[in-house]
């Protein structure tokens, strides 16, 4: 693996746990000053096999400071030691906890869910579980879907991103999918809880869909956005030119444009909800 600078932890982050199906789930919590305007469940990336909430500390700190959100980032179980459905089950458990405890713990009832890459997949899957299993879609303010993977059998861009530099590859994606869903055939991987592109999408909250133009996962977002729109979901899609997977962490104008767009979308969602 390529060496990289470790993420800088935020001094604002508090460590906690929430109850899960296999024991307590570690979380990182960011509390705004005073009563939270809303809740934000964050699900980190890393191909379901690596990664941790600290990766997104600075962005989650920004959500708390700029928007007054109470952010809970979930350290869900990782594959291959804990394959599907362990990670999604942990994310669902954290969503249930935040919806139940949010009013007393943070002073807010309504919730965003958001994540990057595999976290984008888990965000959509968790939103669907909140709709179908928790029956609390009315308490979701929006889903922030950042260069997520939505069809685990692969989309055309997995194999052809125009031969542009990207941290992902088709081989790497298929390796991570096999770790997450070991032994599943293509039909099993089309199950909506595994590949949410195949889910019935009506009744989801507004979705912000973001992806780079040279990301190997470009087509996952391009296929998802019109399916959301056709299901009557308010969807906002932007493709960032010349941007690879993970671009929002790079010091580029496209990353700055993404950050500005996300802030504006959250402001609009809070304003629409009267929060």
Give the tokens for residue 20.
């899960």
H or E segment and range at residue 26: strand 23-30
Q: Please confirm, yes or no, whether 62 is among the known catalytic residues.
A: no
CB 53 within 8 A of CB 124: no
DSSP 214-254: T-TTHHHHHHHHHHHHHTT--EEEEEETT--TTGGGSSSHH
Alpha helices (H) along the chain? 57-67, 86-106, 118-129, 156-159, 170-180, 186-189, 218-230, 253-272
CB 214 within 8 A of CB 242: yes
Q: Please confirm, yes or no, whether 82 is among the known catalytic residues.
A: no
Q: Please confirm, yes or no, whether 193 is among the known catalytic residues.
A: no
Q: Which residue reads 């990207």 in tokens?
A: 166
Among candidate residues 151, 166, 215, 220, the one labeled active-site is 215
Among candidate residues 117, 157, 210, 221, the one labeled active-site is 117
CA dihedral for 44, 57, 216, 207, sign (positive or negative):
positive
Give the tokens for residue 124.
């959509």
Nearest residue to 75 via CA among 58, 102, 93: 93
Catalytic residues: 117, 215, 245
């Amino acid at each position: 693996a390529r060496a990289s600078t470790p993420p800088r932890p935020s001094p604002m982050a508090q460590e906690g746990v929430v109850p899960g199906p296999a024991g307590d789930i570690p979380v990182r919590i960011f509390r705004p000053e005073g009563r939270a305007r809303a809740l934000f469940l964050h699900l980190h990336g890393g191909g379901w096999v690596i990664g941790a909430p600290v990766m997104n500390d600075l962005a989650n700190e920004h959500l708390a400071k700029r928007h007054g959100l109470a952010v809970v980032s979930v350290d869900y179980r990782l594959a291959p030691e804990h394959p599907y459905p362990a990670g999604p089950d942990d994310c669902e458990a954290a969503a249930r906890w935040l919806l139940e405890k949010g009013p007393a713990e943070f002073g807010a009832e309504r919730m965003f869910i958001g994540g990057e890459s595999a976290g984008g997949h888990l965000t959509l899957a968790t939103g669907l579980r909140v709709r179908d299993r928790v029956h609390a879609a009315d308490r979701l303010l929006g889903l922030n879907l950042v260069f997520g993977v939505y069809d685990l059998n692969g989309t055309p861009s997995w194999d052809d991103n125009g031969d542009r530099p990207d941290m992902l590859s088709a081989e790497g994606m298929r390796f991570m999918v096999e770790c997450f869903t070991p032994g599943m055939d293509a039909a099993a991987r089309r199950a909506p809880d595994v590949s949410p592109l195949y889910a019935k999408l009506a009744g989801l909250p507004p979705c912000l869909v973001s992806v780079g133009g040279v990301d190997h996962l470009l087509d996952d977002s391009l296929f998802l956005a019109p399916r959301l729109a056709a299901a009557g979901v308010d969807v906002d899609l932007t493709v960032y030119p010349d941007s690879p997977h993970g671009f929002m962490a790079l010091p580029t104008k496209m990353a700055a444009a993404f950050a500005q767009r996300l802030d504006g979308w959250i402001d609009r969602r809070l304003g629409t909800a009267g929060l």
